Amino acid sequence: MANIASGSTVGFVGLGAMGLPMAKNLVARGFSVRGYDLRQSAREALVAEGGRGAASVAEAAREADALVLMVVNATQAEAALFEQGGLEALPQGAAVVLMSTCPPAAVEKLAERVTGAGRRFVDAPVSGGMVGAIAGSLTIMAAAPAATLAAVRPVLDALGSKVVHVGEHPGQGAMVKTVNQLLCGVHIAVAAEALSLAGKVGIDREVMLDVLGGSAASSWMLRDRGPRMIQAQPEVTSAVDIFVKDLGIVLEAGRDTKAALPLAAVAHQMFLATSGRGDGAADDSQVIRAYQALNRQSTTENR
Amino acid sequence: MANIASGSTVGFVGLGAMGLPMAKNLVARGFSVRGYDLRQSAREALVAEGGRGAASVAEAAREADALVLMVVNATQAEAALFEQGGLEALPQGAAVVLMSTCPPAAVEKLAERVTGAGRRFVDAPVSGGMVGAIAGSLTIMAAAPAATLAAVRPVLDALGSKVVHVGEHPGQGAMVKTVNQLLCGVHIAVAAEALSLAGKVGIDREVMLDVLGGSAASSWMLRDRGPRMIQAQPEVTSAVDIFVKDLGIVLEAGRDTKAALPLAAVAHQMFLATSGRGDGAADDSQVIRAYQALNRQSTTENR
């Protein structure tokens, strides 16, 4: 399989908050990008950047050297490939590159069907969020046979600044991403637990964040989400429901492998409760609202 | 109260892994230091650096402008002040500076007795560990009336690079330290949970740490303890039993203020289990052994 270098055709499915800037970065690197999204406005945004819009998943896949999937979840990825004609339209030997966060077991099954049909498969979830997607500085956790990875490498290099080959088998990338999300989710929830306690006992939480941000208690999430936890209505950079889903995937991986994950399980409960209280679309820092409810604090006390 | 500047006499009780280098830093800044520790070897180590050894807590406190306590816990601090004659020997108006990690409620009570006897009190726990103690770069979370803090400031500046005035009331420093330890303890335990899952499903944990260390999943503890979690017998930099104690203080603060701290409670269980299995003196990264036991992994699988 020749390298899918600049000039090659790449089908791109899912032009959302992450997908659109990723597709734009492929255009900027000289790939011929055909993007599909249900929303016409998203397709038009790609066209404005020099990409082409596709009327269906199948049209995006036709004659493509690689088909990148940046959809919401494994169910959407399956639908795109097997129900909307993506796999059938994709030429033999071309590569499906699945970049969404999906359960490892679902990725394994999906990969089997794809490779069974004579196409290649790269399990390549990302971290770095919208900021990384826009800057092309994502971390990409790629699992695929070495030759397949080498072939799609130019595509991945256009999207991320750190491409780590985590294993030969599809599902291993998803597992690394799962472990990554376990840490992210628990770090957000424990920052909320800490700031909720600080607020309850009357410690100034700005002072608290100042002390914690420079100590051994620090985490990337504390520094990023902490300041938004002491705002009442912060901007939404990533929603509570994303972690309801992602910690759900973490626990599903734990069930599949029979591994007890007690901290992840508790953190998931706090995100679930936040969503259940009607705040699923709020910024994920607002998991602190579940702690406030639990500990009978008013929002004012917490500011 | 005049500033306790260089040249002043400072009594120092508790010349352990943290206390000895702290006392040395006071000597280096020109304070006349009288150090007490049960172990004669510790007193001799201070004398070798230009300090003076004291035969008792009372002797360390006599004629001192400040009495620094860097003992193991609140019980030892109480004993030093009230049973071993420290408070009585200390001149009127001089300051007790409590730097050990103690429960906020215990610090409040202790402070009342000290100020009731006409001495000043500074609640000043630290973070930064042995490395910070040696370098004089500790973070100090000081709670005291502003005038008292100003008076002892030169002492604190000799020990730490960041002195944060967190409140006027003794106990508030201890509470900030408590919240700090909540985060530290949960971050260590969740790093073990994440690496245990990675090991169980056959992900290379060196690769895993490489990915996580540079992503939004990162924490100070993951970067520091993570590499030691994948060693079988790592050097002990801080023992499991320290977090059995410190997360115990966190939960005690939660009980005192009636605040639910679900993640801290679960993390405490994992440290307790590790200690209960006979590994209380092991490096705290070895909380991963409780996860290995829980998930029936051999140590080999985890390397």
Token pair 């901007």: residue: A235
Residue B186 touches chain A, beta carbons under 8 Å: yes
In B, minimum Cα distance to A201 occurs at: B257
Structure tokens at A268: 């998931």
CA distance B147 to chain A (A): 19
Nearest CA in chain A to B193: A261
Q: What gap in Å lies between CA A115 and CA B165, rounded to an integer?
A: 62
Cβ(B281)–Cβ(B236) below 8 Å? yes
Question: Tell me, what's the pLDDT at A303?
Answer: 40
Count of beta carbons in the 10 Å neighbourhood of residue A249: 22
User: What tens digit of pLDDT does each residue of A183-239 get?
Assistant: 999 999 999 999 999 999 889 999 999 999 888 999 999 999 999 999 989 999 889
Q: Which is nearest to B36 in space by CA: B69, B19, B60, B17?
A: B60
Counting residues of chain A whose pLDDT is more than 90, the rounded percentage is 92
Contacts of B188 (CB under 8 A, 6+ apart): B221, B225, B243, B267, B284, B285, B287
A90 touches chain B (CB under 8 A): no
HEC profile for chain A? CCCCCCCCEEEEECCCCCHHHHHHHHHHCCCEEEEECCCHHHHHHHHHCCCEECCCHHHHHCCCCEEEECCCCHHHHHHHHHHCCHHHHCCCCCEEEECCCCCHHHHHHHHHHHHHCCCEEEECCEECHHHHHHHCCEEEEEECCHHHHHHHHHHHHHHEEEEEEEECCCCHHHHHHHHHHHHHHHHHHHHHHHHHHHHHCCCCHHHHHHHHHCCCCCEHHHHHHHHHHCCCCCCCCCEHHHHHHHHHHHHHHHHHHCCCCHHHHHHHHHHHHHHHHHHCCCEHHHHHHHHHHHCCCCCCCCC
H/E element holding B36? strand B32-36
Which residue on chain B is closest to A166 by alpha carbon? Answer: B207
Mean pLDDT, all residues of chain A: 95
Nearest to A164 among B104, B207, B267 (CB): B207
Whether A102 has a pLDDT exceeding 50, the answer reads yes
Whether A9-169 shares its CATH topology with A175-294 is answered no
Least CB-CB distance to B139: which of A128, A179, A211? Answer: A211
Residues in chain B with CB shorter than 8 Å from the CB of A215 are 127-128, 139, 180, 220
B232–chain A Cβ distance below 8 A for any pair:
no
Instruction: Give every residue of chain B whose pLDDT is below 50, as ranges.
Output: 299-303
Residue of A nearest to B207 (CA): A166
CATH class of A9-169: alpha beta
| pLDDT at A300 exceeding the cut of 60 | no
CA distance, residue B202 to nearest chain A CA (Å): 9
CB B134 within 8 A of CB B21: yes
pLDDT at B302: 44
The superfamily (CATH) of domain A175-294 is: N-(1-d-carboxylethyl)-l-norvaline Dehydrogenase; domain 2 (1.10.1040.10)
CATH topology of domain B9-168: Rossmann fold (3.40.50)
What ipTM was predicted for this assembly? 0.91
Domain ranges for chain A: 9-169, 175-294
- Catalytic annotation on B200? no
Q: Which two tokens stand for residue B179?
A: 């919240």
Which residue, among B219, B221, B199, B220, has the nearest Cα to B208 in the 3D structure?
B199
Instruction: Identify from A18, A139, A215 which residue to disrupt to test chain B contact, counting B C-beta atoms within 10 A and taking the largest count.
Output: A215
Tokens of A93: 């030997």
Closest by CA to A229, choosing from B179, B116, B189, B184, is B179
Of B177, B200, B245, B258, the catalytic one is B177
- Three-point CA angle B133, B217, B208, nearest 5°: 95
Can you give the C-alpha Rg of chain B in angstroms?
A: 20
Q: pTM to 2 decimals? A: 0.91
